[in-house]
Amino acid sequence: MERTLTGPSMRSAIWAKIGQNLVASIVIGGSVAAGIALAVLAGPAQLINSIVTGGMWALMSVGLALVFGVMNIPHFAHGESFMVGAYVAYFVFTPLHKYLKTNPNAFLSTMAPFIAILAATLVGFVLGVIIEKLIFYPLRRRTRAQWVMNTFLITVGISFIMTNGATLVLGPNFRGIPRYWDVDPIKFLGVRIAFDRIVAFAIAIVTIAAFWFFLHSTQTGRAIRAVAQDEDGAQMVGIDLNFIHSLTFGLATAMAALAGASLLFMFQAYPTVGLKPLYFAWYVVMLVGLGNIGGAIIGGFIVALLQTATQQFIGIAWEDVIPTIVMILVLLLAPSGIFGSEVKGVHEQ
Amino acid sequence: MFVEGFPVSGRRLKLRINEGGAKLLEVKDLNAGYDFLQVLWDVSLHVSEGEFVALIGPNGAGKTTTLRTIAGLLSPMSGEILFKGKPITHLPAHKVSRIGISYISESLNLFPKMTVRENLLLGAYAVRDRKRISESLDFVFDLFPRLAERSSQLAGTLSGGERKMLAIARGMMSNPELLLVDEPSLGLAPKLAQRVFDALQELRRRGVTILLVEQNVNITLEITDRAYVLEQGRIVLEGKSSELSQNEHVKHVYLGI
């Protein structure tokens, strides 16, 4: 079975490998350098800031990588899951908060934000399952031809409908909260960090760790990875594709909604709130390699570092430009991203 | 179409015992194919409990299509497939796997970025009982000690022979009653192919019923009880393997004698 590559094909294969490793080293080295520069020149505040944002980008990107890896869907409505999460958290938290003003209750005040975030996550999961069952499942049954292109267009359509639907029903106003917890900022390394940010970061890290454990140490998690690697093989061992697809889409949507809810104090809730997180999540997954879940976690932090370094050293208006330039350069030199793509189907279809 | 008795070796006694078993799998007048290209034409075959049956034929005859249709990866155009007397004709693949039919495909369909152990654990996906899973693991590690050595290696980095063993082992993890094996010797050096055939014989000795598709007709007719010859999507010959190997058509076309 082993094929020995000879001549030009071998040389080009070796060059591709070297190119990818080189680009990966440059990008990772560059981000670490940017992080050190930030810490030295701008103080640890900015570094800590970018780590907190990185956790959220990672959470968004993992969902995107998951949906692309398992279902081959380039999910352009992922930002709207973020938006739904933000709205649900707002509409659950605000009445609770109002009620607590007249009836003070220390325990409930601590728990209210968690209730709002949990509600948003659950709604996200249910919404994801409904979208999968209502749209992607019938399409999959009908035809797998041109799957990536079709689903790309569908998700863009879902995105339009959901943003405009939200504008129609809720109006274009910003709805937000100044903060979840009435707690003083916490001092860390001489920097004052808002309590909400710390909790948001903790939520991101705990969720990603739990999800990683789920994927690698439970039969259902392994089944999700199995479907990403070989669909026929998965069916042959008794895995129900429909169940795994719904579960995957539900989980990805839930993670985006969780991110939207945890960051409500920062982003607020409005119909197009999901666009920016969506773009950054796409930077991340394209940078690291489509469908690569482990890479998406690291990539989230890389993009956040690049972004903060750009804001600090070049100017806030450039924060979208620099990550895009880096992404284009990476794709030119290493087309499957710095950690390589783990996707089976795209090249076949 | 039946091949009538020829003088045969001592194998026959064993065959008699196996013939007593009930029909485990029965395929009746199966028509199947891809889109508008029909590959199988009224294929009928059966496999009794404990039997080792071969399906042989030239390239493109429809052997793989037959197995894929039984495994539920392909929906038949017409005909009937019965397993233990119950119809499973239009059952989706994951359900076919759960009722006790394991399909080991030509391309193996392993999960390359998972370890050998994870591949095996997924083989027991439908099994919820942890004790049974660990028993199955012991069973396949006993059958293929090589896999135990490599259990934490990624499946994609295994050699060709090891990958075949892993595919067979993964198929055995669900403790199936019927094993459908597609071209296990494909791409293997003769010595490795022999080891795969030995493993199949060992499984059969341990009571697993096997339907084997093979190009290597010589060895196949030596180790199986009965065989069907599929040509251009139709069963043209069937009978005891020992008798088929004496058949003029088989000798001429497949054995090159």
CA atoms within a 13 Å half-sphere pointing along the CA-CB vector of B23: 13
Cα–Cα distance between A8 and A5 in angstroms, integer? 9
Measured in angstroms, the CA of B232 and the nearest CA of chain A are apart by 25
Q: Provide the domain count of chain A.
A: 1
Write out the two tokens for B206. 């341990």
Q: What is the percent of chain A where pLDDT is above 90?
A: 59
Indicate the DSSP class of residue B113: T
The token pair at B99 is 């009722």
Predicted pLDDT of residue A3: 46
Whichever domain contains A171, its CATH number is: 1.10.3470
Helices (H) and strands (E) in chain A, counts: 14, 2
CA atoms within 13 A on the CB side of B121: 19
The single residue listed with the structure tokens 């482990």 is A294
Do the strands B52-56 and B86-87 form a parallel or antiparallel pair, or are they unpaired? unpaired
Span of B11-15, B39-43, B52-56, B106-110 with lowest mean pLDDT? B11-15
Rg of chain B taking only CA atoms, in angstroms: 18
| Residue B46 near residue B225, CB atoms below 8 Å | no
d(CA B254, CA A16): 45
Whether residues A233 and B111 touch (CB distance < 8 A) is answered with yes
**How many Cβ contacts (< 8 angstroms) between chains A and B?**
77
Domain membership of residue A27 (yes or no) is: no
- Residue B169 confidence (pLDDT) above 90: yes
* Residue B44 near residue B28, CB atoms below 8 Å: yes
**Distance from C-alpha of B142 to C-alpha of B151, rounded to nearest angstrom:** 13
Residue A120 CA to its chain's centroid (Å): 16
Sort out which chain B residues have CB atoms less than 8 A from A2's CB and list them: 159-160
The mean predicted confidence, pLDDT, of chain B is 89
Mean pLDDT, rounded, for B222-248: 94
CATH homologous superfamily of domain B1-96+178-185+209-257?
Answer: P-loop containing nucleotide triphosphate hydrolases (3.40.50.300)
Query: What's the rounded mean pLDDT across residues A169-175?
Result: 94
Mean pLDDT of chain A: 89
Distance CA B42, CA B62 (A): 12
Cβ neighbours of residue A223 closer than 8 Å, sequence gap 6 or more = A234, A239, A244, B122, B125
pLDDT at B120: 97
Tokens of A128: 């994801």
Q: Is residue A83, in this structure, part of any structural domain at all?
A: yes
Which residues of chain B are in CATH 3.40.50.300 domains?
1-96+178-185+209-257
Q: Give residue-wise pLDDT tens across range A195-251.
A: 998 899 999 999 999 999 999 999 999 999 999 999 999 999 999 999 999 999 999
Residues B73, A2: C-beta atoms closer than 8 Å = no
How would you classify the pairing of strands B86-87 and B101-104?
unpaired
Distances (CA, A) of B35 to B42, B59, B65, B74, B77: 17, 20, 13, 10, 10
Q: How far apart are CA A116 and CA A261, in angstroms?
A: 8
The ipTM assigned to this model is 0.86
Residue A41 pLDDT grade (very low, low, confident, very high; cuts 50, 70, 90): confident
Task: Supply the range of the domain harboring residue A169.
Answer: 42-333
* pLDDT value of residue B38: 94
For residues A62-90, give the mean pLDDT. Answer: 95
Name the pLDDT band for A8 (thresholds 50, 70, 90): low
Interface-testing mutation among B64, B94, B106, B188, with chain A (most A C-beta atoms within 10 A): B94
Q: Average pLDDT, stretch A304-326?
A: 87
Q: Which of B95, B111, B173 sits opposite A229 (nearest CB)?
A: B111
What's the pTM value of the predicted model, to 2 decimals? 0.88
Nearest CA-CA distance, residue B235 and chain A, Å: 26
Q: Chain B interface, mutation test: which of A237, A240, A343, most B Cβ atoms within 10 Å? A: A237
Residue A29 lies in a domain: no
A298 pLDDT higher than 80: yes
* pLDDT for A253: 97
Average pLDDT over residues A143-168: 94
Read off the pLDDT of residues A111-136 as tens digits, 9 standing for 90 and up: 999 999 999 999 999 999 999 999 99
Pick from B114, B125, B170, B179 the residue to mutate for testing the A interface (most A CBs within 10 Å).
B125
Residue showing tokens 């999960």: B111
Band (pLDDT 50/70/90 cuts) for residue B8 is: very low
Does residue A182 fall inside a structural domain? yes
CB atoms within 10 A of CB B75: 11
CA distance B110 to chain A (A): 6
Q: What pLDDT is recorded for position A46?
A: 82
Closest partner residue to A236 among B97, B121, B163, by Cβ? B97
Distance from CA of A237 to the nearest CA of B (A): 5
In a domain, A71, yes or no: yes
Q: Which phi and psi (to 5°) does residue B176 adopt?
A: -75, 160
Residue B6's pLDDT is 34
